[in-house]
Chains A and B, each alone.
Chain A
Amino acid sequence: MNSCDAIVVGAGHNGLTTAAFLAKAGLDVVCVEKNDYIGGAAVSRELYKDWIYSNCSYVCSLLRPEIYRALELHRHGLQVTPYGGSVTFTEDGDYFAKYHDEDVSYREFARFSRKDADAYERYAADTLRQCRFIRDFLLSTAPDPTSFKPADIRELVKIGRKFLDMGEDRMYETIRFWTMSVADYLDEYFETDVIKAAMAPSGIIGTALGVHSPGTAYVLLHHYMGDVDGNVGAWGYARGGMGAVSKSIAGAFQAYGGKLRTEAGVEKIIVKNGRAAGVALEDGEELTAPVVVSAMDVKRTFLNCMDRSDLPAAFYERVENFKIRGSSGKLNIALDGMPEFPALPKGSELYHSDMHFVDSMERMERAYDDWKAGTWSKDPYVDMVIPTTIDPTMAPPGKHFMSCFIQYCPHKLEGRDWTDAEREQFAKTVIDQIANYSPNFKELILHYEIRTPEDIEAQIGITEGNIFHGELTMDQLLFNRPVPGYAQYRAPVKGLYMCGSSTHPGGGVMAAPGANAAREILADLRRPNTVPENFGDD
């Protein structure tokens, strides 16, 4: 009765992606979700009447175009509209902006430094080269360097060849790029602090690292390697909020005959005779299937939903020590009108762009020091956007929805739970920072939703509310993600798989982990592959 071919636990975008590709291959798939809504952290909800919030993720770029096409997401209502530029306000009342138009951008750079304006082209080319190098490997399973299996060796050779093709100098540059800090990387190109401050955040967003921490240059890629309509590095809004991404994947999944069950939280993954046999739901119901796929992060999967005795001790210990660190929060705001930013020219296109209020790398690093000391940043980095300037569906006419991403914000305050008063204080920190640059901002606020990592964990289920399901440090990337030796989506229990962002290539609304997991599962089941190959850039 309650049995099917595969159960996917968690209807986030990755879970839905795996489910959709399995269903497309003809499997009878059930996707279970604990909440009464789907989407995980790619979700739109109406928490204030007539306002749609992108509660967690808020902009779209990384979603792999191969997946978009293979699942025909446009048929299921997904529309991504590019938006342009960014602005960083400076404490002295000026601002630094980046525009889509390269000539305009050049003049803006040159307003601060001619040298930086000239350096930007070099910077963009070098960074794009790194993007292109890695983009090819997003839709493939990371090879195990300790393995002698032909598939692993083939993939290793492929990577090695691509690396060698760069030529000697660029190989060295690549080694350095993967290991250096974003601050050092930017120092090699730019001299103006506000320009560096405008570029650096991509290296730290979602991580528990500072701009001076080695390894953060690589994290840049996690914000540059996406594209909108083939425009690499561009970002867009999903019409109707990020929930539209999940809904469209769910639409595809259902069109292939898959079944979605909400309010069906999993209590336990059932293991019988050393292999996965199904799941026990919180209400006591049991579903059986020979294949169980978890889209939850690895800690939640193995530490909360399984018996320790079902797993190898060394694996269990590694999962315990897997680093998922809450480092960012969100504030979603319903606005009665458009806030004014007197520093910007009237009617500036920059009102449609990302806005930032931290104008130096030192302020950014100090924000990190607060987090290390166990509290939220008193002068945080805020990535603020007003999607309703482009997408009118998210708020009534003339009204706006504002999304603020805030870093740093710890999961616990000095090791204990947040109090309501502290959550409000946290919100106030952010609101005050914006109000410094927008005098009418405070009076426009109708409602807001505070999301500390603790809130995100409680609602979405991600351990510590970390947007990537695990730190993006070298020890947790590629063949090390999530656990060395288990980086190919297979858990140590036969029939059990992982497909969430804890797996390669990591977080962001990319859907690549979900697609890669589906490919491995279908291979194990000896079913025809429904997961697309990567297009390649050239």
Chain B
Amino acid sequence: MTERFDAIVVGGGHNGLVCASLLAKGGKRVLLLEANEQVGGAAVTREFADGFSVSACAHLLVQLQPKVQKETGLDVELATSKMTTIALGDDGEHVRISGDRVTGARDADARQYRAFHKRMTRFADLLATYCNVTPPRLGTKDFADLATLARLGFDVRRLGKTEMREFLRIIGMNIHDEVTERFASPLLRGAVSLDAVLGTHLGPRSPNSMLTYLYRLAGNHGRPAVPKGGMGAVTQALASAARSAGVTIRTGTPVARIVVDNGRVTGVETSAGERFESLTVVSNADPKRTLLDLVGARHLEAGFVHRVHHLRSTGNAAKLHLALDGLPSIAGLSKKEFGERIVIAPGEHYVERAFNPAKYGESSPEPVLEISVPSFRDPTLAPTGKHVLSAVVQYAPYARKGGWTDAAKAEFEAAAIRVLERYAPDIAGRILASELLTPADLESEFHMTGGHWHHGELALDQFLFVRPVGGAQQYRMPLDGLWLCGAGTHPGGGVSGAPGRNAARAILKRENAG
């Protein structure tokens, strides 16, 4: 006998957990199935070497939406928050960015940055409002959609004439032009550029990189935090919130397919052959995996499949984890600053040069890095006196020419360590163990097609009305009973919980409307 639920959530990433939790709070009987042995998706903490644990994919909490926290009753204990970003420079001359304050650059740069930050956070706040609503459909007569559109228009107008013009001007722009217009310091230019291109297939010169920058700011104004116990602690807390709301969570249960009967979804089948029935299936998996693998193209309209097929979702961000026998020494960096966010992106041109090879399926010989040392504030992650370094390293294109062989991985890891050594000359000698996760590894470990942490490139042509694809932006897929709630939907990736929350609201709204 198969068990019947009001809703089944496929995948226990943070969005799946948020969605399940809110559905359960809305009175639904919810089952959540997770393929891996622990929930959390790409927001997990796990051991990578004896005694050393790390947030395996996402390592900084930037965008978690307050609304999500409030509605799920999520309580996260932070090891540190409002981290300063330190852009490493030669000879210990670093630039430090903390909120709207910049030190280590000229006064003019600091002044410009303050003005820049003020304007950007204003635009980001506008964007954030729309991160927390279902994107409207165009050309419909649905009242709610028209109201959202009208409000969007009104909110943009309310910026005032000058700011509205500026908003409309910059929204499609690249970050390169903005940083070169404003700042003289290459380190400041580089650090801002890096924020715009992290996790994307863009260089600072690529139009659209302004949008990704604003998106990053749309959470917590871009000031990262680290939860105690790593990112896994956030998802564990979400899981217990879900459980107490009544969600049944089953781990180690990969879903093999979403069952379609008579043109509608009727449940799921696990790879062990077990069946669960529900007329509502919500997938936390990425759109391609959900629609092309779990459902299958034959159940969908051809034009829609074509659009899903062309969704760009190949990642460029690799994760490097180092187990260190002690803190490395970096000139000009005090010991306590190892608790901050450290970036290596000396100049906008450096970032652009790192990006160039990615266009041809080659990895950067001189990559850019976003580094944190989570064990500095959270000693549970490493044995006493020892440390864990966690870094996002770009660019490592998913579809590397020749594939991600062991030799290719070793080469990229060596490139990253060479770059680290420029600033921390003793680091190589301190490495006890290391792990490099390329987008190909992230795909196989976390089941994200293309290993893309946004489940689909975040760009204007895959944003808002057209995310994941036009006509399917309201979480509801063109197949009865099928919904998406992952990062591939509006607004996108990052541990924000917004897609999960928006999806849950859309589902409840529809079902309560009958």
Contact = CB atoms under 8 A, between A and B. Distances in A.
Nearest to A164: B139
A283 interface: no
B173 A179 contact: no
B120 interface: no
B471 A485 contact: no
A176 B157 CA distance: 24
A239 interface: no
A145 B465 contact: no
A175 B466 contact: yes
B181 interface: yes
A215 B465 contact: no
Contacts of A188: 306, 310
Given A168-B137, A175-B470, A372-B352, A321 B181 contact: yes
Interface string B347-388: 000001000100110000000000000000000000000000
B177 interface: yes
Contact of A214 (B162, B206, B465): B206
Contacts of A366: 360
A474 B207 CA distance: 8
Contact of A184 (B138, B169, B312): B312
A490 B137 CA distance: 37
B172 A323 contact: no
Label chain A's interface by main secondary structure.
helix
A168 B138 contact: yes
B171 interface: yes
Interface string A511-525: 000000000000000
A173 B207 contact: no
A338 interface: no
B4 to A, nearest CB: 35
Nearest to B303: A169
Contacts of B466: 172, 175-176
Interface string B196-216: 000000100111100000000
B169 to A, nearest CB: 5
A484 B177 contact: no
A383 B202 CA distance: 28
A474 B170 CA distance: 8
A369 B471 contact: no
Interface of B: 137-140, 157, 161-162, 164-166, 168-174, 177, 181, 202, 205-208, 303, 306, 310, 312, 352, 356, 359-360, 459-462, 465-466, 469-471
Given A168-B471, A213-B206, A369 B461 contact: no
B207 A169 contact: no
**Interface-centre pick from A177, A179, A323, A479 (highest chain B CB count, 10 A):** A179
B471 A365 contact: no
Given A168-B138, A175-B460, 9 more contacts: A172-B466, A176-B462, A179-B461, A212-B359, A214-B206, A314-B162, A365-B360, A475-B170, A479-B168
B460 A179 contact: yes
A484 B165 contact: yes
**Interface-centre pick from B169, B306, B462 (highest chain A CB count, 10 A):** B169
Interface residues of A, number: 38
A173 B460 CA distance: 12
A514 B359 CA distance: 39
Nearest to B304: A169
A473 B470 contact: no
A536 interface: no
A2 interface: no
Given A175-B465, A209-B207, A369-B356, A485 B173 contact: no
25 contacts: A146-B164, A168-B139, A169-B471, A171-B138, A171-B465, A172-B138, A172-B471, A173-B470, A175-B460, A179-B460, A180-B459, A184-B310, A210-B359, A214-B202, A214-B208, A215-B207, A365-B359, A372-B205, A372-B356, A473-B172, A473-B173, A474-B173, A475-B177, A484-B168, A484-B169
A390 B278 CA distance: 70
A193 to B, nearest CB: 13
A210 B352 CA distance: 13
Contacts of B170: 475
Contacts of B460: 175, 179-180, 214
Nearest to A473: B207
Contacts of A175: 460-461, 465-466, 470
Interface in A410-442: none
Contacts of A172: 138, 465-466, 469-471
A137 to B, nearest CB: 17
A474 B165 CA distance: 13
B160 to A, nearest CB: 9
Contact of B461 (A146, A176, A210, A479): A176
Interface string A166-204: 011101110111011000100110000000000000000
A534 interface: no
Contacts of B459: 179-180, 214
**Interface-centre pick from B172, B306, B462, B469 (highest chain A CB count, 10 A):** B172
Interface of A: 145-146, 164, 167-169, 171-173, 175-177, 179-180, 184, 187-188, 209-210, 212-215, 314, 321, 323, 362, 365-366, 369, 372, 473-475, 479-480, 484-485
Nearest to B140: A168
Contact of B207 (A171, A187, A213, A480): A213
Contact of B173 (A362, A475, A479): A475
Contacts of B461: 175-177, 179-180, 184, 214
B444 to A, nearest CB: 25
Contact of B172 (A146, A164, A176, A215): A215
A479 B165 CA distance: 9
A415 to B, nearest CB: 12
A176 B459 CA distance: 10
B502 to A, nearest CB: 19
A433 B207 CA distance: 30
B173 A171 contact: no
Given A167-B139, A175-B470, A474 B360 contact: no
Which 7 pairs, one residue from A and one from B, show the smallest C-beta to C-beta distance? Answer: A172-B470, A474-B172, A179-B460, A484-B165, A180-B461, A176-B461, A179-B461
B154 to A, nearest CB: 13
**Interface-centre pick from A176, A177, A209, A480 (highest chain B CB count, 10 A):** A176
A146 B312 contact: no
B492 to A, nearest CB: 15
A213 B165 CA distance: 24
B205 to A, nearest CB: 7
Contacts of A372: 205, 352, 356
A256 B344 CA distance: 64
Given A474-B172, A474-B173, A146 B352 contact: no
Contact of A179 (B138, B162, B172, B312): B172
B153 to A, nearest CB: 9
**Interface-centre pick from B165, B170, B306 (highest chain A CB count, 10 A):** B165
Nearest to A212: B359
B470 A485 contact: no
Contact of A485 (B157, B165, B181): B165
Contacts of B202: 214
Contacts of B139: 164, 167-168, 171
A484 B167 CA distance: 10
A176 B166 CA distance: 22
Contacts of A323: 177
Contacts of A321: 177, 181
A228 to B, nearest CB: 31
A462 to B, nearest CB: 20
A500 to B, nearest CB: 20
Given A184-B312, A366-B360, A473-B173, A145 B164 contact: yes
Nearest to A145: B168
A474 B359 contact: no
A184 B208 CA distance: 14
Given A168-B139, A172-B465, A172-B470, A146 B207 contact: no
B361 to A, nearest CB: 9
Contacts of B462: 176
